[in-house]
DNA sequence: ACAAGTACTCATTTTTTTATTAGTGATGAT
DNA sequence: ATCATCACTAATAAAAAAATGAGTACTTGT
């Protein structure tokens, strides 16, 4: 995947929003596709790359590797490398990661009431759609 | 903006995730650019299109209209049309919308600790980045 | 010598999202 | 008669995100 244009309105708006409130940065992070599921896998003890891959059956290597890296960069998970061959690397939540999971669980409860109440699929909500 | 391909892996994966957990649908909704800010504007009493536009200075008409429509579809805000000319339409939160705002506030508090601790900008976290 | 297993990376294509620009309709003020 | 106002829509272009397919290193087993 390619570089971001740092001279675009798209980029500038994002920076503007992230500066306005860090919530925007957090949402930008957790809303990436598969992100919460990866987090929940790790929370539930599925700690290896291959295990997560198996659990989230349609996720690609590329995306999983990316999501793990981001979570690691944000200090939400840590990596334990056993230095074996074939590689054995395990992930677990940091306390920050656990805290986030709890908050997401609350949001999840809300969404179960709210989303199903109105029976709309977000994929039907795009600009220009009727 | 154009139609979604309903026969793509991209689309299918999203459906898969939304079926797995409605949280994914909610996150997909609230993480759209400007969405939380629009919600917070309304929460704080900035109830008209033009007012929100002024407050979020770089948002475009297109996006604002889209975000309001989505929020309305999900029953998070309601519209009060005064049938005046020039038009006067006011938005306010539903109880669902208020509940969501409260949850987002909690997330916001978390993000203020977590995000700044690691000093990383989400815009620097993309697949393939070093 | 070759295949299998694991946790990845890299380059490219496809799809989606966001931004840009130009409109619309009704009316009151100039 | 034209202009300004407000809350939008529609078409298109630009940018970003996600998916695809291939390749890597390192060992143990055959």
Could you read off the pLDDT of A20-45 as tens digits, one per residue?
A: 999 999 999 999 999 999 999 999 99
If you average pLDDT over residues A72-97, what whole number do you get?
A: 96
Partner-chain residue, chosen from B12, B73, B127, that has the shortest CB–CB distance to A1: B127
Is residue B101 within 8 Å of residue B77, measured between CB atoms? no
pTM of the predicted structure, to 2 decimals: 0.90
Distance between CA A47 and CA B115 in Å, rounded?
Answer: 24
Q: Summarize the confidence of residues A47-74 as an average pLDDT.
A: 97
Q: Which residues of chain B have pLDDT under 70?
A: 1, 116-130
What does pLDDT average to over chain A?
Answer: 91
**pLDDT category of residue A100 using cuts at 50, 70 and 90:** very high
- A83 CA to D13 C1' in angstroms comes to 49
Q: In terms of Cα–Cα distance, which of A85, A102, A90 is closest to A36?
A: A102
Give me the pLDDT at residue A60, please.
Answer: 97
| 3-state secondary structure (DSSP) of residue A7 | coil
Q: What pLDDT is recorded for position B116? A: 61
CB pairs under 8 A between A and B: 182
Q: What is the model's pLDDT at position A123?
A: 57
Convert B81-95 to b/e letters by CB count within 10 Å (16 or more is b). eeeeeeeeebbebbe
* A90 pLDDT more than 70: yes
B2, B59, B111 member nearest A22 (Cβ): B111
* pLDDT value of position A114: 82
A125 falls in which pLDDT band (50, 70, 90)? low
CA distance readout (Å), B118 to A30, A70, A73, A74, B42: 16, 12, 8, 6, 31
- Work out the minimum CA distance from B5 to partner chain A, whole angstroms: 10
Chain D positions with any atom < 7 A from a protein CB: 4-23, 25-28
Residue A102 has pLDDT above 70, yes or no: yes
Residue A1 to residue B96, Cβ atoms within 8 A: no
In the complex, which nucleotide's C1' lies nearest to the CA atom of residue B60? C19
Would you call B26 and A107 a contact, using CB atoms and an 8 Å cutoff?
A: yes
Q: Residues B52-89: pLDDT tens digits? A: 999 999 999 999 999 999 999 999 999 999 999 999 99
Give residue A128's pLDDT: 46
CA-to-C1' span, B53 to C20 (A) = 16
């Amino acid at each position: 995947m390619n570089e971001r244009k740092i001279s675009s309105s798209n980029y500038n708006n994002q920076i503007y929003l992230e500066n306005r409130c860090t919530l925007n940065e957090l949402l930008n992070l957790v809303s990436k596709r598969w992100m919460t599921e990866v987090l929940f896998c790790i929370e539930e003890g599925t700690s290896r790359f291959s295990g997560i891959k198996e659990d989230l059956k349609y996720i690609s290597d590329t995306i999983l590797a990316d999501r793990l890296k981001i979570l690691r960069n944000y200090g939400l998970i840590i990596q334990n490398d056993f230095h074996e061959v074939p590689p054995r690397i395990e992930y677990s939540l940091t306390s920050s990661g656990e805290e986030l999971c709890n908050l997401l669980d609350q949001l999840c409860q809300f969404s179960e009431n709210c989303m199903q109440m109105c029976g709309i699929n977000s994929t039907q909500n795009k600009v220009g759609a009727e």
